Chain A
């Protein structure tokens, strides 16, 4: 008598052994994966939030749609696929293993009936002689046969590449290996980002999780440059980097070139060219309305400074030559944003070659100050993606195994030939695990040659 508990385990096993489940999982995974290609993943863009009702946003958030490939239910589906894969393999493997290791060497009537490729050759030769002939023939033309005698009837059996029946299991194993590799990567690896100014040195990076990660070496950006095609399209983004240990350059890692598609790897960390920008200085002179009390100001990058009257200012944009935007003007110009002490904010353009316009603007707005732009000094920074992934080799191993396995599963075939010799009649049977059509032709040819061989000998 079986207990209910055992019944439950039994049906759970059957459930996971079912190929119907495989079909369901594969198709369901295909369908459900579409969601994450339509709904934004990770940081949700402002426009998306504006276009979507709060109720829908909340629902999607609860369901994990904004990070669906890491949501518990998606991971659960992948686990179910894995369990299904393992269960199916365990269920079928013993049978396949038996076919490989314990081949049916006797060519019985029952086996003959189950084969699609069977041929009989009538021959008046002696059984012993025929046996020798057939043995030599199979050995030369196909594979060395096993030979046995039962009640005066001789059975020959030969096979080719029986192990290729296992290739499907290697494909399935490779899926699991890839999962393992990706898990190791996410547990023991990290992804991050670092910006370095020309001439400066970075010794830590910012992780995706917004945590700072200290490096046990440092990295100096010697130079960053952009080159362009004649059409103006970008041709190359190039960072020249030096790796430093205890402040000293590491031999072989001095002035290393990093461009898109050609990263730098040091101590298991890889640095990829990812973005760039200008963090240089902007120069201004600020005066009173009557031009007195000039003060020089330098604003670096996106930071802001306090003017003599207590208001604060920062640069939002700048050009080297304004004539492209305003035909009658020339020279450098900067768009600045001014926050006065009483909380007012305004944004306007100041010029290097047109002090009168700067004065006009100040006058229109009352008491000054007058802001004159004096140009900028370029200082590039490079943005590098940083990654460490100790699981990646395992993933590649899985991928290679998968390719070889799929190839062997599709294009190799376990082929078997049986011959029975009995009272001058020779019966040949054959079977292939794949590509039946091609095997049938091969089999017919083989039988033809065997026939003429046996005829010749007489």
Chain B
């Protein structure tokens, strides 16, 4: 069994899980929802093993390092954290439908990584040879994943809010399956409550690493600046809740904009801007 085979199995599991979630939405059959969730769990398990295996394989090759060193490995890890955060949310709150809005993010990540990227294990360049890499990447990506989940929930919120405004009664069908609007609003806040401290930790560990490696904890390089932009947006989200006129739909939009900024911070900066962070080079 190799890690790359397991990663393919993971991708397939996420695909099936997402389709099952869609079927669950359409059919409102409880067993399908449970099956979708179980397949997602199975995928998460396979991916966990695969990540561990890839870690071991890198040691077998003599270039041992945690599998977090290039764009491929980070996208795979990102997909893993998304499903992990979603699984935790499911265990705690049991709103299955959210899977239909979260699994696509995980599938997209895995499919892109498996099909579009160089999957080879590469040795670590000197700049990345530090334990800080581990702390920094793990905290950042757990934060990003929580924001991805919040974004999915916010999309559901907006769909539900708009349909409730236009329809006279509470709409049936697909949207009837969604959790009540107040619950969605609360879940959105909860996901960001998990993501915000993690992002804060991610920025701080990044600053600590930069200080340790270069002697400056902050140099306004595009990646750093974008992480601060993301942080500002979610800080605005947190304060929106205690400001009149900012609750509800506007807060949901802030959450979606926050995730768009997160994605740009993660991928856009490497693809469109130049700076010190070297992940971009790990792509094709």
Contacts and interface: CB of A to CB of B under 8 A. Distances in A.
Contact of A229 (B63, B197, B232, B233): B63
A231 B201 CA distance: 35
Given A22-B239, A234-B126, A261-B127, A33 B215 contact: no
B243 A19 contact: yes
A229 B64 CA distance: 13
Nearest to A69: B220
A274 B236 CA distance: 38
Interface stretch (A35-43, A99-107, A154-162, A320-328): A35-43
B246 to A, nearest CB: 6
Contacts of A36: 220, 225
Interface string A248-280: 000000000001110100000010101000000
Interface string B95-139: 000000000000000000000000000110111011010000000
A215 interface: no
A406 B130 contact: no
A236 B126 contact: yes
A396 interface: yes
A41 B208 CA distance: 22
B39 interface: no
A30 B233 CA distance: 7
B222 interface: yes
Contacts of A395: 207, 217
B171 interface: no
B53 interface: no
A26 interface: yes
A26 B235 contact: yes
A406 B197 CA distance: 6
Given A261-B129, A403-B201, A191 B215 contact: yes
A406 B200 contact: yes
Nearest to A395: B217
Interface in A358-389: 385-387, 389
B212 A261 contact: yes
A34 interface: yes
A260 B208 contact: no
Q: Give the secondary structure class of A's interface.
A: helix
Interface in A201-235: 229, 231, 233-235
B93 to A, nearest CB: 9
Contacts of B213: 260-261, 263, 272
Nearest to B196: A406
Given A261-B129, A396-B208, A410 B197 contact: yes
A20 interface: yes
Given A34-B229, A36-B220, A403-B200, A386 B126 contact: no
A29 interface: yes
Contacts of A392: 211, 217
Interface in B222-262: 222, 225-226, 228-229, 232-233, 235-236, 239-240, 242-243, 246, 261
Contacts of B240: 23
B123 A231 contact: yes
A27 B236 CA distance: 7
Given A23-B243, A37-B225, A402-B200, A263 B215 contact: yes
A38 B193 CA distance: 30
Contacts of A231: 122-123
Contacts of B261: 30
A166 interface: no
Contacts of A385: 214-215
Contacts of A26: 232-233, 235-236, 239
A89 to B, nearest CB: 13
Given A19-B242, A392-B217, A261 B130 contact: yes
Interface in B178-217: 186, 193, 196-197, 200-201, 204, 207-208, 211-217
B55 interface: no
A262 to B, nearest CB: 8
A117 interface: no
Nearest to A226: B126
Contact of A182 (B125, B126, B218, B242): B218
A389 B204 CA distance: 17
Nearest to A231: B123
Contacts of A72: none
A237 interface: yes
B197 A407 contact: yes
B215 A389 contact: yes
Given A23-B246, A27-B236, A33 B225 contact: yes
Given A229-B63, A235-B123, A33 B229 contact: yes
Given A26-B239, A36-B220, 11 more contacts: A26-B236, A27-B233, A33-B232, A37-B225, A38-B273, A261-B130, A261-B213, A389-B215, A399-B207, A403-B200, A407-B197
29 contacts: A22-B236, A23-B240, A26-B232, A30-B261, A36-B220, A37-B222, A38-B273, A69-B220, A229-B123, A233-B125, A234-B126, A236-B129, A259-B126, A261-B130, A261-B212, A263-B212, A263-B213, A263-B215, A270-B215, A274-B214, A385-B215, A387-B214, A389-B215, A395-B217, A399-B207, A403-B197, A403-B200, A403-B201, A411-B193
Interface of B: 63, 122-123, 125-127, 129-130, 132, 186, 193, 196-197, 200-201, 204, 207-208, 211-218, 220, 222, 225-226, 228-229, 232-233, 235-236, 239-240, 242-243, 246, 261, 269, 273
Interface of A: 19-20, 22-23, 26-27, 29-30, 33-34, 36-38, 41, 69, 182, 191, 229, 231, 233-237, 259-261, 263, 270, 272, 274, 385-387, 389, 392, 395-396, 399, 402-403, 406-407, 410-411, 437
Which 5 interchain pairs have the tightest Cβ spacing?
A387-B215, A30-B232, A260-B126, A26-B236, A37-B222
